[in-house]
Amino acid sequence: MFDTILIANRGEIACRVIRTARRLGLRTVAVFSEADAGALHVAMADEARLIGPAPARESYLRIDAIIDAARATGAEAIHPGYGFLSENAEFAEACAAAGIAFIGPPPSAIRAMGSKSAAKALMERAGVPLVPGYHGDDQSPATLRAEADRIGYPLLIKASAGGGGKGMKVVETAAGLEEALSLAKGEARAAFGDDHVLLERYLTRPRHIEIQVFADTGGNTVSLFERDCSIQRRHQKVVEEAPAPGMDPARREAMGRAACDAARAIGYVGAGTVEFIAEGETFAFMEMNTRLQVEHPVTEAITGLDLVEWQLRVAAGQPLPLRQEELRIHGHAMEVRLYAEDPARDFAPSIGRVDHLRFPDGEGIRIDTGIREGDAVTIHYDPMIAKIIAHGPDRAAAVARLARALAATELAGPATNLGLLRAILAQPDFREGALDTGFIARHADTLLAPAGPAPRAALAAAVAHLLLDRAAAVPADAADPHSPWGAATAWRLNGDGYQDFTLGDGEATHLIRAHLREDGFRLDLPDGPAEVSATRGQDGRLTLRVDGRALSARVLRIEDRLTLFLPGAAHALRVIDPLAPAGGEGPAAGRILAPMPGRVLEVLVSEGQAVARGAVLLVMEAMKVQMRITAPAEGTVSAILCTPGELVEDGAELVSLD
């Protein structure tokens, strides 16, 4: 086994690799960019080396800088994690040339899966099932037309060099073929510099089922069973689970065998994933990911294994610790990916400091994260904050544990997809295991519904928090803990009977009067009065009774913003000071600012133009996502302060409106 390994990655996967290496007694070296000097993976490693500025191209993708760091620290092996250089054959070769073990497959295996067409041809020869289609070199219009008519419609055109759904076009009927081909080829040329396409029969309600494989250098290859990753949004996985709902032993064995055949056909070594598309009884090879995947923890949960330990053993030349017949599935596991992205902005990445972060630690719950409270999510890297993984004796137990964990997760700072995750887990079809890749789009109206108005309990908790804060502002008498001033219950504060609070809730403003009572207070809430009592516990949580119902809540205040964590939901409110001067509310009025650093793509308005509320003013690109910047109110464009193509800082003024 190695003495020292370097982890050429960041975030949760770097932390996760370090944890196993540490358990096995290995010394760990982290690399980091200027943006990550204070990151968790740097703090966890035994040693850390700065490799360049924040942009990945200048740091985590710098092969030379990483090899230099390994040489300088005496690392004998490099774990690439996922993303970045993990599927880069040149990096694997550079490691070998430097006499450093690459903890991953041979470069030839990475290359074999690089082209979709070539991979399909290889898989066909290895007897791995494929979707009926055409993946030949002859790209002449006559051949593509003849092949398309042979395959039948609906048909799917894919870029040979593509991945992740880029350059895919569905053709419904023969009449649409030529136009779709020219669109697909144009996109493929622009995105990959290669306009080769392949044709496949289009499956309309497929499932994404993938097989985790492992191979050692001695020719042993095993399947660690399947994961179902059908719950995706725009080709981004959101929920992953193992085993796949409805999988029977015969099909599992057939898919496991096909995946091992695929791995053997390319001389695979290490951890890999063979992706299949499944519909009804059939399954077909899609692609192979030649790395450890984000969702590997669900496989670890059901097999009881540590896949990073297996990777290290295999890279050190050891045989696989178990044979196929020794591998078993224990219970069911499910993972969700918590992303910093904003549902109100079509899930564009959301950045900023994570002001508050609490994960539960219930039975069967695992949290993989590289972020601590106070850390920032930046534009430079993937916006995943954490993976939340639940394991239980069966699927219902795993879902229940995961739902409970999500209900107890508290995060304030960047916007997140936590509401979507909770909604998916509550969805009846999901609970029944009726999954396919169209699930989120089909249920968009319920899953992506905007947050409604704050419920009574949230308003009550907000007012209770503000009352208790005022009580706490009275100097406490440390020598007399039983002083009525220290017991922070509202009715002791003053004798004038009531206090008023103004809370903003989205567009609405609520004036809430709190009448002080012997044992709490009565609130005049928008939909009627409520009897409330509240105490604050050691951990800062409020224990409330609202209309006789007990509940626990946490209220977080940052300036005028209140975040309320109630069981299973968070609500955002604003504290409004009715005495503050009206109008000119802060810096935002009339000034349209860049919400994050990025590039201006297009300016859609001109000076002097009248715009309606919600009108698109310009389009920006940030974190690889296009975002439309809209008018917050009706007005007239008084100045355009940016130009298409310009790189702008976070908070830069883009347009001003009168």
Which residues are designated catalytic?
291
| Residue closer to ligand MV4, measured from CB, 167 or 343 | 167
* Among the listed residues 106, 206, 419, 595, the single contact to ligand MV4 using CB under 6 A: 206
**What is the rounded distance in angstroms from the CA atom of residue 64 to the CA atom of residue 85?**
12
Residue 232 interacts with ligand MV4 (CB under 6 A): yes or no: yes
Residue with tokens 């950045």: 351
Both tokens of residue 213?
Answer: 């494989």
**What is the rounded distance in angstroms from the CA atom of residue 639 to the CA atom of residue 654?**
9
Amino acid at 531: E
| Residue closer to ligand MV4, measured from CB, 244 or 320 | 244
| Residue closer to ligand MV4, measured from CB, 166 or 492 | 166
Minimal CA–CA distance to 156: which of 115, 194, 201, 206? Answer: 201
Determine the 3-state secondary structure of 446 from DSSP. helix
Considering only the stretches 3-11, 203-211, 455-463, 572-580, report the one whose residues sit in contact with ligand MV4 under the rule CB under 6 A. 203-211
- Helix (H) and strand (E) counts in the chain: 17, 39
* Among the listed residues 21, 61, 203, 424, the single contact to ligand MV4 using CB under 6 A: 203
> Closest approach of Cβ 157 to ligand MV4, in Å?
10
> Closest approach of Cβ 233 to ligand MV4, in Å?
9
> Closest approach of Cβ 436 to ligand MV4, in Å?
9
> Closest approach of Cβ 168 to ligand MV4, in Å?
6
Total interface residues for ligand MV4 by CB under 6 A: 16
Which residues from 158-197 bind ligand MV4, rule CB under 6 A?
Answer: 164-165
CB atoms closer than 10 angstroms to residue 613: 10
| Residue closer to ligand MV4, measured from CB, 130 or 367 | 130
**What is the rounded distance in angstroms from the CA atom of residue 371 to the CA atom of residue 148?**
48
Considering only the stretches 198-206, 424-432, 558-566, 568-576, report the one whose residues sit in contact with ligand MV4 under the rule CB under 6 A. 198-206
Interior CA angle at 295 toward 292 and 299, to 5°?
85
Which residues from 274-303 bind ligand MV4, rule CB under 6 A?
Answer: 277, 286-287
Both tokens of residue 395?
Answer: 């699927």
> Closest approach of Cβ 230 to ligand MV4, in Å?
7
Residue 156 interacts with ligand MV4 (CB under 6 A): yes or no: yes
> Closest approach of Cβ 587 to ligand MV4, in Å?
41
Considering only the stretches 201-209, 422-430, 537-545, 587-595, report the one whose residues sit in contact with ligand MV4 under the rule CB under 6 A. 201-209
* Among the listed residues 200, 216, 240, 505, the single contact to ligand MV4 using CB under 6 A: 200
| Residue closer to ligand MV4, measured from CB, 274 or 564 | 274
Residue 119 interacts with ligand MV4 (CB under 6 A): yes or no: no
Amino acid at 172: E
* Cβ(525)–Cβ(459) below 8 Å: yes
Find how far residue 282's CA is from the centre of its chain: 30
Both tokens of residue 590?
Answer: 């009339």
Which residues from 564-583 bind ligand MV4, rule CB under 6 A?
Answer: none
Minimal CA–CA distance to 617: which of 648, 589, 640? Answer: 640
Residue 273 interacts with ligand MV4 (CB under 6 A): yes or no: no
Is 549 buried (19+), middle (13-18) or exposed (0-12) by CB count in 10 A? exposed
> Closest approach of Cβ 110 to ligand MV4, in Å?
17
| Residue closer to ligand MV4, measured from CB, 119 or 523 | 119
> Closest approach of Cβ 208 to ligand MV4, in Å?
4
| Whether the bond into 141 is cis, omega within 30 of 0 | no
> Closest approach of Cβ 204 to ligand MV4, in Å?
7
Which residues from 18-47 bind ligand MV4, rule CB under 6 A?
Answer: none
**What is the rounded distance in angstroms from the CA atom of residue 444 to the CA atom of residue 580?**
40
* Contacts for 471 with CB less than 8 Å, ≥ 6 apart: 485, 488, 489, 490, 492, 493
Taking CA atoms, 82 is separated from 8, 17, 295, 325, 382, in Å, by 9, 11, 11, 29, 11
Residue 437 interacts with ligand MV4 (CB under 6 A): yes or no: yes
Residue 597 interacts with ligand MV4 (CB under 6 A): yes or no: no
* Among the listed residues 32, 91, 134, 202, the single contact to ligand MV4 using CB under 6 A: 202
| Residue closer to ligand MV4, measured from CB, 378 or 437 | 437
> Closest approach of Cβ 301 to ligand MV4, in Å?
22
> Closest approach of Cβ 224 to ligand MV4, in Å?
20
Residue 422 interacts with ligand MV4 (CB under 6 A): yes or no: no
Strands 4-7 vs 77-79: parallel, antiparallel or unpaired:
parallel
Minimal CA–CA distance to 523: which of 573, 570, 459? Answer: 459
Strands 528-536 vs 520-525: parallel, antiparallel or unpaired:
antiparallel
Which residues from 347-376 bind ligand MV4, rule CB under 6 A?
Answer: none
| Residue closer to ligand MV4, measured from CB, 131 or 171 | 131
Strands 528-536 vs 542-546: parallel, antiparallel or unpaired:
antiparallel
What pairs with residue 282 in β-bridges? 279
What pairs with residue 419 in β-bridges? none
Residue 651 interacts with ligand MV4 (CB under 6 A): yes or no: no
| Residue closer to ligand MV4, measured from CB, 285 or 501 | 285
Residue with tokens 């540590």: 306
Which residues from 120-149 bind ligand MV4, rule CB under 6 A?
Answer: 131
Minimal CA–CA distance to 564: which of 433, 655, 454? Answer: 454
Considering only the stretches 51-59, 178-186, 202-210, 342-350, report the one whose residues sit in contact with ligand MV4 under the rule CB under 6 A. 202-210
Residue 208 interacts with ligand MV4 (CB under 6 A): yes or no: yes
* Cβ(406)–Cβ(367) below 8 Å: no
Both tokens of residue 88?
Answer: 């880069």
Considering only the stretches 1-9, 20-28, 199-207, 596-604, report the one whose residues sit in contact with ligand MV4 under the rule CB under 6 A. 199-207
| Residue closer to ligand MV4, measured from CB, 53 or 164 | 164
| Residue closer to ligand MV4, measured from CB, 235 or 372 | 235
**What is the rounded distance in angstroms from the CA atom of residue 566 to the CA atom of residue 291?**
39
- State the residues that interact with ligand MV4 by CB under 6 A: 131, 156, 164-165, 200-203, 206, 208, 232, 235, 277, 286-287, 437
